Structure 1
Amino acid sequence: MIKKILLKRITMAVMTLLITGKAYAQHQKIINPGAVWPDNRGEHIQAHGGGIIKIKNTYYWYGEERRRGLDSNKRYVSCYASKDLTNWTFKGDVVQMTDPENLGQRWVLERPKVFYSKKSRQYVMYFHLDNATYKFARVGIAVSDRPDGDFKYLKSFRPLEHESRDIGQFIDDDGTPYLVFEDRPLGFHIVRLSEDCLSIDREMCLIAEHMEGGAIVHYKGLYYAIGSALTGWKPNPNRYATAKTLKGPWSEFKDIAPKEKNTYDSQSTLLLKVSGKKDTTVLFLGDIWKPKEQWDSRYLWMPVQIGDGELWLPEPAPFKIDVKNGTAN
């Protein structure tokens, strides 16, 4: 009898520890740039090179799934959901794709970005699709009826017949979707998508700078565009330019942080505007890549100092984001 009571107490204690551990993972109060970022399961978030969209009161974060033990013949895109941008629930790998275009071994699926089309009521994922030598240089498209559903591969193409490698997304204040893509011969393209988000409507601008990791935000009457130099996995000083319209003209590019810091060892992937009841905060979202240990790659999220044509990324430090009020501290 005593053994049964002890066994029951031990079992209850273990269950309590498990529940407590999960609760801890689910209720974080701060974002700690560069640290391991646990999801609701207590596992490091795997959403590298990603993008975020907001549907009603929920943010969806999509990115490259790089955890250990994946099938090397497939490429994976993960999806996470959050209402506060701090605590994220794993919704699954919404892409588990085998080679869609006979690209051969070490084929590439990178930088997934999802748009929602009100016209088709579909979620449309764009991603950089390539072969091992980066000569295919196209965007791939997959679609789903749900933000966290299985995305089905649809097609690939070269935007406006141009090479496309790193891509970025921008959704303007009126909901208009734009794609940013890096074209090695020409530069940094900004294009508007069609209403169904399945094709290019028109080119807004070609910025004659060889940059990748493109990110754009519209803040108090100005557009700010960020890009990273072409150094592969190695970090470099990211830079920004401004314009009154997406068509330009664009200002000269300036560093967003001290040049010697190499953007604090990160690379831009998105500028996220968080507008609330009291204020608006712009977050720099970057990746801290670890090419030899990709599963341990980290994230650098930080509120930027922005306004009057200036943008600055402060030294990374833990911070709180209040999505209801649009404030960060």
Structure 2
Amino acid sequence: MVIRRFRLVLLVWSLCLALLVTLVPQPAAAASVTINSGPVWYDTTGGTVQAHGGGVIKVGSTYYWIGEDKIHNSATFKNVVCYSSTDLKNWKWVSYPLQPSSHAELASSKVERPKVIYNESTGKYVMWMHYENAADYSLGRVAVASSSSVCGKYTYHGSFRPLGYESRDMTVFKDDDGSAYLLSASNSGGGANDSLASFKLTSDYLNVASFQGWVFQNGHREAPAVAKQGGKYFLITSGASGWYPNQAMYATASSMAGPWSALAPLGNTSTFYSQSTFILPVQGSSAASYIYMGDRWNPGQLGDSRYVWLPLTLNGAAGTASMDWQSSWSIDAATGVVAAPAMTNYALGKPATAGSAASGYAASRANDGNYQSEWKAASAAWPSTWQVDLGAVKTIREVDISWFMYKGSEAYHQYKIEYSTDGANYTTIDRTSNKTYGFTTDAVNFNARYVRIVLVNAVLWNNPNNWYTPTLYEVKLLGP
């Protein structure tokens, strides 16, 4: 009888304990989420995410995205904004860590590319920014602020030229040993942004301790972003073409002091219509992944600038980096595992023809899988056509086109997509209203063997005359 009572009591206690466990809130584990580049991103309250030119810092299991507020559609300083997320998809607005009211110097200014690193010795989160007056970009300074909490109110410490050097587009990078570095677009004597300057920060991260040297001197590179993989440092930069996209390049080094390798291209000619701002490492339980974070600037309506986040492959042993376009892809922030939809590029390597081709620029160069080779027409006459024969009828769900770009005279292309099953009767998708620079991706749903791109016109942002020669760098026709 005593044994039976003991078993009954034990059973009751076990049931109570199980019930208690179910009632106690458990920490939410990250799950695989889908990232879409290009559309408007909304925070958890339904507001548009305003974190342009920003970076991400991880504290515990939470990621904090800190960037520029452009909701007022102006380059002048509105706010630095902080969002939080555990899965890198659902972003919650947290605070305005820095505002024009934070200091008199910020009341009429520009504050760009805020980046935050944590100093274990001081217990402070330190924010570095590009600082200018509201009227122009003549100051060429950095600004520094700090806080005891990542999204708390930051104390503004002022703006200055590091060791007297000009500083515009910039980033900061914290190494494994706790040392930190500043890389910024500067002036080595050839004019604004002619070279990148490299600095080591002081131990409290509030100032620069030393100038490490010029990087890509006279290369006119900006928008730096740094990561480390396999003991190798990777530096991604853009060309200097204002708000307009261009070809990202990367270099590697065994030390932040350099020397840096020769520049190599990353992505396509327009970096998929984006400019680099940050490389986000995601260390999970199963894998270490890297995310390229880019801004798709809309100079006419800066608050509507979009975000381009793409999986980035870094190989420290080989010293190589690669990145391809994915309209959508998934990541599990807990495991670090990245996955992309299973899609086939049916245009790859298939027979291609064109209305004309310049010597050495055959039509086949536009579907060879190489973003650095191109088909070019024999003359600057518009319109012009390029066509591929898929060999059999295929289902096409996405058309990606990498267009010709010329730094300083960028253009958007007006075009048509025509498709056919028999090579005689074509259906047209009219994209002559396009105003996207450098790279277009069209969600479609058609069955075809023949697909033709009609290049109708190119509209140059700074020139009323179209002097471009019809050119295609890569056409991808994706389907299941």
Normalised to the residue count of structure 1, the TM-score between the two structures is 0.85
Correspondence for 2:354: none
Q: Give the distance between the partners of 2:80 and 2:105, measured in 1 at CA.
A: 19
Runs of 4+ in structure 1 over 4 Å off: 98-105
Q: For residues 82-128 of structure 1, give each alpha carbon's deviation from its aligned partner in whole angstroms, at most 9, with x where no partner exists.
A: 112121110022211159576996x3111111121222212211111
Q: For residues 293-323 of structure 1, give each alpha carbon's deviation from its aligned partner in whole angstroms, at most 9, with x where no partner exists.
A: 1111111001112211111120132111122
Please identify, of 248-257 and 93-102, the stretch whose mean Cα deviation from structure 2 is larger: 93-102
Contact 2:245 2:273 survives alignment (8 Å): yes
Q: Give the distance between the partners of 1:77 and 1:146, measured in 2 at CA.
A: 15
- Which one of the candidate residues 54, 61, 86 is aligned to 2:58? 54
**What SS does structure 2 have at the residue aligned with 1:292?**
coil
Correspondence for 2:161: 158
Contact 2:73 2:302 survives alignment (8 Å): no
Which amino acid is the alignment partner of residue 199 of structure 1?
Answer: N
Correspondence for 1:233: 243
Q: Give the distance between the partners of 2:102 and 2:76, measured in 1 at CA.
A: 7
1:137 aligns with 2:145: no
Correspondence for 1:218: 228
Contact 1:237 1:256 survives alignment (8 Å): yes
Q: For residues 119-151 of structure 1, give each alpha carbon's deviation from its aligned partner in whole angstroms, at most 9, with x where no partner exists.
A: 221221111111223111111112222111112
- Which one of the candidate residues 19, 33, 40 is aligned to 1:36? 40
User: How far does residue 55 in structure 1 lie from its aligned partner after superposition?
Assistant: 1.3
Correspondence for 1:120: 122
Correspondence for 2:409: none
**What SS does structure 1 have at the residue aligned with 2:83?**
strand
CA, structure 1 residues 102+57, in 2 after alignment: closer, same or farther (shift >3 Å)? Answer: closer
CA, structure 1 residues 69+270, in 2 after alignment: closer, same or farther (shift >3 Å)? Answer: closer
Contact 1:73 1:98 survives alignment (8 Å): no
Q: For residues 198-236 of structure 1, give each alpha carbon's deviation from its aligned partner in whole angstroms, at most 9, with x where no partner exists.
A: 111233442123211101111112111111111110111
Structure ranking higher in helix proportion: 1
Which aligned pairs between 1:187-266 and structure 2 lie closer than 5 A?
187-207=195-215, 208=217, 209-259=219-269, 262-266=270-274
Correspondence for 1:14: none
Q: Give the distance between the partners of 1:178 and 1:274, measured in 2 at CA.
A: 21
Which amino acid is the alignment partner of residue 31 of structure 1?
Answer: I
1:278 aligns with 2:282: no
Please identify, of 189-198 and 221-230, the stretch whose mean Cα deviation from structure 2 is larger: 189-198
**What SS does structure 1 have at the residue aligned with 2:168?**
coil
**What SS does structure 1 have at the residue aligned with 2:278?**
strand
Please identify, of 168-177 and 235-244, the stretch whose mean Cα deviation from structure 2 is larger: 168-177
The alignment covers a number of residue pairs equal to 300
Q: Give the distance between the partners of 1:233 and 1:299, measured in 2 at CA.
A: 14
Please tell me whether Structure 1 or Structure 2 has the larger radius of gyration of its CA atoms: 2
Contact 2:289 2:336 survives alignment (8 Å): yes
| Percentage of identical aligned residues | 37
Which amino acid is the alignment partner of residue 181 of structure 1?
Answer: S
Q: Give the distance between the partners of 1:69 and 1:217, measured in 2 at CA.
A: 31
CA, structure 1 residues 76+231, in 2 after alignment: closer, same or farther (shift >3 Å)? Answer: same
Q: Give the distance between the partners of 2:97 and 2:40, measured in 1 at CA.
A: 22
